[in-house]
Amino acid sequence: MFFDFIKNLNRRNYSDEELRHTRPKGAMNMKGEFTTIIEKHGEWYVGYIEEIAGVNTQGKTVEEVEENLREALELVIQANRELTRKSIESSPNR
């Protein structure tokens, strides 16, 4: 079973003032679409997002898998942002 995208995550909407303080100069605000694969394995559904490693989950229903994937995607993106920020801050060329 294929679902072509996950979009409009339940994420916090930041004010323009907050974005000026948190977004690096030149950064863009982008929304993406991702390919979501959900397959039935026995009594469970297993799902993952093809484009981003580590975003995978399982659940008893398709709806549970979809919700779990939204949460997993949000967590992976947050972790990647934090790792990138720390890498930039520790860079000797900064």
Range of the domain at 27: 2-90
The confidence score (pLDDT) of residue 9 equals 35
For the cut 80, the answer to whether the pLDDT of residue 37 exceeds it is yes
Q: What total number of domains does the chain contain? A: 1
**pLDDT, tens only, 56-87:** 999 999 999 999 999 999 999 999 999 999 99
What does the mean pLDDT of the chain come to? 77
State the pTM of this model: 0.63
Q: Domain of 19: which CATH number? A: 3.30.160
CB 77 within 8 A of CB 63: no
| Model pLDDT, residue 29 | 65
Residue 22 near residue 13 (C-beta atoms within 8 A): no
Chain position carrying tokens 């520790």: 90
